[in-house]
Amino acid sequence: MKIAMVGSGYVGLVSGACFADFGHDVVCIDKDATKIERLHAGVMPIYEPGLAELVGTNVKSGRLTFSTDLASSIEGAAAIFIAVGTPSRRGDGHADLSFVYAVAEEVAANLKTPAVIVTKSTVPVGTGDEVERIIRESGTKVQFGVVSNPEFLREGAAIGDFKRPDRIVIGADSEWAQGVMREVYRPLFLNKAPILFTSRRSSELIKYAANAFLATKITFINEIADLCEKAGGDVQDVARGIGLDNRIGGKFLHAGPGYGGSCFPKDTLALLKTAEDFASPLRIVEAVANVNESRKRAMGRKVIDALIGQSGDDSVRGKKVALLGLTFKPQTDDMRDAPSLAIAQALIDAGVEVAAYDPEGMELAAGMMPHVTMTKGPYEAIEGADAIVLVTEWDAFRALDLDRVKRIARAPVLVDLRNVYDPAEIRAAGFTYTSVGRG
């Protein structure tokens, strides 16, 4: 089966490479000629574990190709996926659908063979109707259907998530379109991955509801962590204690500096806009988005408190802090809405000098944090620091040489925003230690 993937960003590239690996013939299309040129040369536009290898194998087998030309690439494709960005629209937080609609128009103008047009981009409820209208009003005589098929990939684990999904959701309003999608996902169907067929609108809502629920779970445990700190509990134990209840589930109950990334912050805001448009308030999601936003900066204050606690001096001006990890989570170079941005800014605003290291995110981070000194490695950042802050739980920071850290830091103060270290052990090693929700 031939598949066209319009948009060769994170979602398009991972999905395209995985479909090719299942045996489909896939062409990944992008307007960005440099990106396509680099993909031809085997250079990935993003860091994602296993992606370069997967792309390489499938290019070699001839099942995966790249192109900048949508018109010729979609010919003969039974499914045309739209996997372009839907960033927050400047000014109001609504999902910006201009890229999606531009692709729909270009597909409509060039459709020569029957195809199902599939929105994989995260799009608000009703977008599929609009895509269908655009194509219908182009006057095309070719048979087509419009389907919603949201992605549930996590950055850093995207290939595994694609190949072993918890579920596949397909929102299709016609039997014919459902049949085509069944063929697209036949390899996973054979693997017994649950496939849920719904209406197109339900499918569009499932994507946002899932992300909003996960964001709620994280924010809930973060607030419980704050209570643990004040009341003298351990949030890790509380999370385990509630997570063992199957109705709650143990995942996404890891307290930290607040969620970031390209999805939760933008998708919760977009869902709130949808709720507003339908005059159907989502007050819980509203609280989640607000609580999370203020939490990121509050983590800067937590670091400042640790600096004050260590010196007894109210002014932290001129003190130095080392940030370990800048990306919104490990195994990615993505800096979008990363908590590190708000934390670094809060410290800089208080006159603190900030040095930082991240295994993959430095290139992007450098442009976004002009006042932070980027270093070659974790120990270079720690050199002379009055406090060390573990912001992102990269494996490289899980087993720091603590003796070396103590020797080179100005003070052995560790603020562990991901609860990576064992409080008793790290204190026994001579550190002043603060973590999240372990009162």
- Residues forming the site for ligand UGA (CB under 6 A): 122, 151-155, 211, 214, 218, 252-254, 256, 259-261, 263-264, 267, 328-329
Smallest gap from Cβ 382 to ligand UGA, in A, equals 22
C-alpha distances out from residue 253 to 222, 232, 315, Å: 8, 19, 35
Smallest gap from Cβ 158 to ligand UGA, in A, equals 8
Cβ closer to ligand UGA: 234 or 267? 267
Cβ closer to ligand UGA: 257 or 412? 257
Q: Cα 232 vs. chain centroid, distance in angstroms?
A: 32
Smallest gap from Cβ 329 to ligand UGA, in A, equals 4
Task: Yes or no: say if 322 and 390 are a contact pair by the CB < 8 Å rule.
Answer: no
C-alpha distances out from residue 313 to 236, 303, 309, 323, 387, Å: 32, 14, 8, 21, 14
Which helix (DSSP H) or strand (DSSP E) does residue 127 occupy? Answer: helix 127-137
Distance CA 119, CA 62 (A): 25
Smallest gap from Cβ 429 to ligand UGA, in A, equals 26
Cβ closer to ligand UGA: 157 or 308? 157
Which helix (DSSP H) or strand (DSSP E) does residue 28 occupy? Answer: strand 25-29
Cβ closer to ligand UGA: 243 or 384? 243
Classified as helix, coil or strand, 29 is: strand
For the chain, the farthest-separated pair of C-alpha atoms sits apart, in whole angstroms, at: 76
Task: Yes or no: say if 212 and 122 are a contact pair by the CB < 8 Å rule.
Answer: no
The pair phi, psi for residue 119, each rounded to 5°, is -85, 115
Cβ closer to ligand UGA: 29 or 158? 158
Q: Is the torsion defined by CA of 139, 144, 147, 152 positive or negative?
A: negative
Cβ closer to ligand UGA: 214 or 381? 214
Closest CA to 170 of 114, 97, 119, 101: 119
Active-site annotation holder among 18, 28, 228, 263: 263
Q: Is 263 a catalytic residue?
A: yes
Smallest gap from Cβ 333 to ligand UGA, in A, equals 12
Smallest gap from Cβ 171 to ligand UGA, in A, equals 16
Q: Is the torsion defined by CA of 419, 423, 428, 432 positive or negative?
A: positive
Catalytic residue numbers read 263
